[in-house]
Protein backbone atom coordinates (compact mmCIF):
# COMPACT_ATOMS: atom_id res chain seq x y z
CA UNK A 1 0.00 0.00 0.00
CA UNK A 2 2.81 2.42 0.86
CA UNK A 3 4.45 1.77 -2.53
CA UNK A 4 1.19 2.60 -4.34
CA UNK A 5 0.79 5.82 -2.38
CA UNK A 6 4.35 6.88 -3.14
CA UNK A 7 3.88 6.08 -6.84
CA UNK A 8 0.63 8.09 -7.11
CA UNK A 9 0.77 11.47 -8.87
CA UNK A 10 0.92 14.46 -6.49
CA UNK A 11 -2.40 15.83 -7.74
CA UNK A 12 -5.48 14.39 -9.33
CA UNK A 13 -5.74 14.75 -13.13
CA UNK A 14 -7.98 17.44 -14.53
CA UNK A 15 -11.60 16.36 -14.93
CA UNK A 16 -12.82 15.31 -18.35
CA UNK A 17 -15.32 17.77 -19.83
CA UNK A 18 -16.18 15.38 -22.67
CA UNK A 19 -17.52 12.64 -20.45
CA UNK A 20 -15.15 10.00 -21.82
CA UNK A 21 -13.58 9.26 -18.46
CA UNK A 22 -10.16 10.22 -19.79
CA UNK A 23 -8.37 13.26 -18.34
CA UNK A 24 -6.44 15.62 -20.59
CA UNK A 25 -3.15 14.18 -21.75
CA UNK A 26 -1.34 17.53 -21.96
CA UNK A 27 -1.74 21.14 -20.93
CA UNK A 28 -2.14 22.01 -24.62
CA UNK A 29 -5.17 19.70 -24.86
CA UNK A 30 -6.74 21.40 -21.85
CA UNK A 31 -6.16 24.90 -23.27
CA UNK A 32 -7.50 23.97 -26.72
CA UNK A 33 -10.57 22.32 -25.17
CA UNK A 34 -11.25 25.38 -23.04
CA UNK A 35 -11.41 27.74 -26.05
CA UNK A 36 -12.60 25.39 -28.81
CA UNK A 37 -15.66 24.04 -27.02
CA UNK A 38 -17.33 22.87 -30.24
CA UNK A 39 -14.56 20.36 -31.04
CA UNK A 40 -14.81 16.70 -30.17
CA UNK A 41 -12.26 15.16 -27.84
CA UNK A 42 -10.57 13.51 -30.83
CA UNK A 43 -10.29 16.85 -32.64
CA UNK A 44 -8.89 18.52 -29.52
CA UNK A 45 -6.24 15.80 -29.23
CA UNK A 46 -5.30 16.04 -32.93
CA UNK A 47 -4.99 19.82 -32.83
CA UNK A 48 -3.01 19.79 -29.56
CA UNK A 49 -0.69 17.14 -30.99
CA UNK A 50 -0.06 19.27 -34.10
CA UNK A 51 0.73 22.27 -31.91
CA UNK A 52 3.05 20.30 -29.62
CA UNK A 53 4.93 18.45 -32.38
CA UNK A 54 5.02 21.14 -35.06
CA UNK A 55 3.19 19.03 -37.62
CA UNK A 56 0.77 20.42 -40.19
CA UNK A 57 -2.97 19.98 -39.71
CA UNK A 58 -6.10 20.85 -41.69
CA UNK A 59 -8.95 22.62 -39.92
CA UNK A 60 -12.47 23.55 -40.87
CA UNK A 61 -12.76 27.23 -40.04
CA UNK A 62 -15.56 29.78 -39.99
CA UNK A 63 -14.40 33.33 -40.74
CA UNK A 64 -15.87 36.36 -38.98
CA UNK A 65 -17.88 36.96 -42.18
CA UNK A 66 -19.52 33.54 -41.74
CA UNK A 67 -17.82 31.87 -44.71
CA UNK A 68 -16.52 28.33 -44.17
CA UNK A 69 -13.11 27.24 -45.41
CA UNK A 70 -10.68 24.40 -44.89
CA UNK A 71 -7.21 25.66 -43.98
CA UNK A 72 -4.00 23.68 -43.83
CA UNK A 73 -1.88 25.11 -41.04
CA UNK A 74 1.77 24.63 -40.22
CA UNK A 75 4.19 26.21 -37.73
CA UNK A 76 1.29 26.55 -35.30
CA UNK A 77 1.73 28.55 -32.10
CA UNK A 78 -0.89 28.63 -29.37
CA UNK A 79 -1.70 32.14 -28.09
CA UNK A 80 -5.06 31.65 -26.36
CA UNK A 81 -7.71 32.27 -27.52
CA UNK A 82 -5.92 32.22 -30.89
CA UNK A 83 -3.67 30.12 -33.06
CA UNK A 84 -0.92 31.80 -35.02
CA UNK A 85 0.07 29.69 -38.00
CA UNK A 86 1.28 29.61 -41.55
CA UNK A 87 -1.83 29.22 -43.74
CA UNK A 88 -1.13 27.32 -46.95
CA UNK A 89 -4.34 28.61 -48.57
CA UNK A 90 -3.28 32.25 -48.18
CA UNK A 91 0.47 31.52 -48.26
CA UNK A 92 0.93 33.83 -45.29
CA UNK A 93 1.06 33.98 -41.50
CA UNK A 94 -2.49 34.19 -40.12
CA UNK A 95 -4.28 34.33 -36.78
CA UNK A 96 -7.19 31.95 -36.16
CA UNK A 97 -9.69 32.16 -33.31
CA UNK A 98 -9.99 28.76 -31.61
CA UNK A 99 -13.75 29.12 -31.11
CA UNK A 100 -14.17 29.29 -34.92
CA UNK A 101 -12.39 25.98 -35.60
CA UNK A 102 -15.18 23.44 -36.13
CA UNK A 103 -13.28 20.29 -37.13
CA UNK A 104 -9.74 18.96 -37.49
CA UNK A 105 -8.26 16.58 -40.06
CA UNK A 106 -4.79 15.26 -40.85
CA UNK A 107 -3.03 17.47 -43.41
Of 102, 76, 78, the residue nearest 88 (C-alpha): 76
Strand 101-106, strand 92-97: pairing = unpaired
pLDDT above 70 for 3: no
> How confident is the model over 44-69, as pLDDT tens digits?
999 999 999 999 999 999 999 999 99
Q: What is the DSSP string of the chain?
A: -HHHHHHS-SSPPPP-TTSSS---SSHHHHHHHHH-TTS-HHHHHHHHHHHHHT--EEEEEE-TTS-EEEEEEEEEEEETTEEEEEETTTTEEEEEEGGGEEEEEE-
pLDDT at 35: 95
> How confident is the model over 8-27, as pLDDT tens digits?
554 444 555 556 666 788 99
Amino acid sequence: MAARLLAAPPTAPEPDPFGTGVPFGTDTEEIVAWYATQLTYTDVRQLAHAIDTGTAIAVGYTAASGSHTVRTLSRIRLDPPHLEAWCRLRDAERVFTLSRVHHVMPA
